[in-house]
Amino acid sequence: MSTGYLTIDLDALVANWRALDAKTNCETAAVVKANGYGLGSGKVATALARAGARKFFVAVAEEGAAVREALGPGPEISVFGGHMRGDTDMIGDLSLTPMLNSVEQVTRHLEALPGHAFGMQLDTGMNRLGVEWDEWAAVAKITLAQKPTLVMSHLACADEPDHPMNAYQLDVFHQMTDGISTPRSLAATGGILLGKDYHFDLCRPGIGLYGGMPFAEARDVIQIDLPVIQIRHLEEGEVVGYGNAWQCKRPSKIATVSAGYADGLIRAISDKATFWYGDQSCPLVGRVSMDLITVDVTDLSETPQALTLIGPQQGVDQLADVAGTIGYEILTSLGARYARRYKGS
């Protein structure tokens, strides 16, 4: 094959969910938005449901439809984006639970789907999604009377444990919700790691399930192996790739591997990233192009058939550091051309 292999370890994914669940005394859901952080929401959700997860979160209703198809009836699937115009039939037919974010959404939901499950999202200072303090004061009585499944908010700086915004948002959330009988949720992965004060009734880990920071104890979930299409032998002074971006300083053996920015391997790793052949490192040289990457394999004692970009020697966050980004972007950018292989569960 000339496409890369993306190996997804579902047993590691489940182990990460169980490890995060063990840090709480409340229910632990699973965030499977963005197609399960790029790994396949159906496969991911099914593995987690078998492990005991009963509540799942997606970003938009269309994602919820894919997860419902995989899981069937029963598990609760909540939609962070709420009840958007045009989503009514999908929410109703597929028993999705929108997290309502505005007075407009509250009105739309209660009028279009009376008696249908919903939750409320509150803005505690992130200024992204959720009803603000004065809006909550205006709609709290009517919405709580309809018995929402959850009242939630989201932390802006949970990956920085000492950031004062964490304590601030926790205090605001208490002020907005103390005294209600509805289950509450504030913590995603970072919030779980902040401690039990942030856990309330439900935690919603996302990135930590997939092996990403800030969950440093996470097991690696993915490996990317890229096939070598061609080997070129260059003399000192010859150049490689677009723009003559790299020039040999010695006679070199260059492997052209099948992947590029169309596969989510962003151009920012050009001339910076490291590939691996077993425990031997091989530098990426020149620019990442749409479909191809060139790697210096001069020091290998044998000709490789494939090289590893993400695996035991280099995790998602290490590659993200090279690119000047975060593991979330690496995972969710993975393209459709990989041959996906699922292990376990």
The CATH number of whichever domain residue 267 belongs to comes to: 2.40.37.10
> End of a domain among 160, 188, 210?
210
Same domain? For 151 and 278 the reply is: no
> End of a domain among 188, 210, 232?
210
Report pLDDT for 1.
Answer: 59
Separation between Cα atoms, residue 60 and residue 45, nearest integer Å: 16
Report pLDDT for 53.
Answer: 98
pLDDT in tens, 274-302: 999 999 999 999 999 999 999 999 999 99
Annotated active-site residue in 147, 196, 242, 343? 242
Same domain? For 174 and 245 the reply is: no
| pLDDT at 54 > cutoff 90 | yes
In a domain, 3, yes or no: no
Same domain? For 175 and 41 the reply is: yes
In a domain, 215, yes or no: no
Same domain? For 177 and 239 the reply is: no
Report pLDDT for 305.
Answer: 97
In a domain, 116, yes or no: yes
Report pLDDT for 102.
Answer: 97
In a domain, 273, yes or no: yes
If one counts the domains in the chain, the total is 2
Report pLDDT for 2.
Answer: 80
In a domain, 4, yes or no: no
Same domain? For 154 and 19 the reply is: yes
| pLDDT at 182 > cutoff 80 | yes
User: Which residue segment(s) compose the domain that 326 sits in?
Assistant: 222-343
Report pLDDT for 106.
Answer: 97
Separation between Cα atoms, residue 125 and residue 108, nearest integer Å: 25
Same domain? For 94 and 179 the reply is: yes
User: Rounded to the nearest 5°, which phi and psi values hold at 50?
Assistant: -65, -30
Separation between Cα atoms, residue 174 and residue 120, nearest integer Å: 15
Annotated active-site residue in 23, 33, 43, 55? 33
**Cβ atoms of residues 144 and 182 within 8 Å:** yes
Same domain? For 199 and 243 the reply is: no
Report pLDDT for 298.
Answer: 98
Same domain? For 200 and 51 the reply is: yes
Among candidate residues 324, 325, 336, 309, the one with its CA nearest the CA of residue 220? 309
In a domain, 5, yes or no: no
Q: Residue range 83-105: average pLDDT?
A: 97
**What are the residues whose beta carbons fall under 8 Å from the beta carbon of 142, sequence distance 6 or more?**
106, 110
Per-residue pLDDT band for 345 (boundaries 50, 70, 90) equals confident
In a domain, 166, yes or no: yes
Our answer to whether residue 33 is catalytic in this structure is yes
Same domain? For 37 and 179 the reply is: yes
> End of a domain among 176, 210, 244?
210
**What are the residues whose beta carbons fall under 8 Å from the beta carbon of 103, sequence distance 6 or more?**
131, 135, 138, 139
Same domain? For 227 and 206 the reply is: no
Report pLDDT for 117.
Answer: 98
Per-residue pLDDT band for 262 (boundaries 50, 70, 90) equals very high
Looking up residue 16, the CATH number of its domain turns out to be: 3.20.20.10
Our answer to whether residue 5 is catalytic in this structure is no
Same domain? For 135 and 22 the reply is: yes
pLDDT in tens, 145-181: 999 999 999 999 999 999 999 999 999 999 999 999 9
Same domain? For 63 and 181 the reply is: yes
Separation between Cα atoms, residue 155 and residue 168, nearest integer Å: 10
In a domain, 216, yes or no: no
